[in-house]
Amino acid sequence: MQTIEDRRTRFKALHAERRAFLMPNPYNIGTTRILEGLRFEALATTSAGFAFTHGLKDAEGLITRDMALTHAQTIVGATTLPVSGDMENGFGDSPEEVVETIRGAIDVGLSGCSIEDFSPDPLNPYYEFDLAVERVKAAIDARNRLAPDFVLTARSEAPVRTEENLRETIKRLQAFADAGADCVYAPGLVEKQHIETVLAEVPAPLNVLAGRKHFHLTRKELEDMGVARVSIGSGLARIAFGAFTAAAESLKDSGSFGCFDREEGMEDFDLFMKGRL
């Protein structure tokens, strides 16, 4: 039986391999067991997917730290795989509040977590550079004291649409790497050329978000480029909730039941739930 420390050690080693390992994101116990049954190497929580299960939108401050940590603990308890937690902005603006989130993430058995520079203030949606870096430094200091193998991912959330955007993203990711982040992540990175530029200029392992529309780079291409990790974010949750909505609309609008002919995957579902795969 792997201990929590064993999971953290394995998770950290996966990043050093730089082979674009896949880290899909379940949103409840059932989806966690499916992904373990499919033999992925690591998992991560999704703030959006979790919010959807509560009938909430993502990133509106309605999911609290305690809610996120309780959810993360549930996912950790449902699998033997390493689990990284989506801890949003650390559930607070100050470095001290980020430290509380890191402490909680370690306590519930996560193998790592991400902290982003997105602010809930609509007038200033991204933390000023120095504060963003200070928050990451505080998270790293806490990690070093409490669980050195815990993988801290630092996220730069701003969109990457122009060269100026890209330079700001690189500046932040470089600073996060210099502060000691084990992995860096910019969800706005979509274009191959932009990803290659970040890989060339930022020394830390890079996570790329692939669970989105119109993202057509393959895992092999990302591995060849040197990407360390590929996450799916809320992609699987959006597909699941979208299929549910489409089927329910078909029932209501057509009065027929052909939507159930599209049911797939249920042959293995019971086996995943029973832990036989």
Per-residue pLDDT tens digits for 178-231: 999 999 999 999 999 999 999 999 999 999 999 999 999 999 999 999 999 999
Distance CA 117, CA 2 (A): 33
Residue 263 pLDDT exceeds 90 = no
Residue 155 pLDDT exceeds 70 = yes
| CA neighbor of 49 nearest in space, from 273, 244, 241 | 241
Residue 66 pLDDT exceeds 90 = yes
* Amino acid identity, position 21: F
pLDDT of amino acid 75: 98
Q: Say whether pTM exceeds 0.85.
A: yes
pLDDT tier at 275 (50, 70, 90 boundaries)?
A: low
pLDDT tier at 245 (50, 70, 90 boundaries)?
A: very high
| CA neighbor of 91 nearest in space, from 76, 122, 113, 123 | 113
Domains and CATH numbers, the chain: 4-235 (3.20.20.60)
Token output for 216: 């057509």
Could you please report the per-residue DSSP string of 193-214?
Answer: HHHHHHHHH--S-EEEE--STT
Dihedral sign (CA 59, 61, 62, 63): positive
Q: What is the mean pLDDT of the chain?
A: 94
103 phi and psi, to 5 degrees? -60, -45
| CA neighbor of 151 nearest in space, from 261, 252, 4 | 4
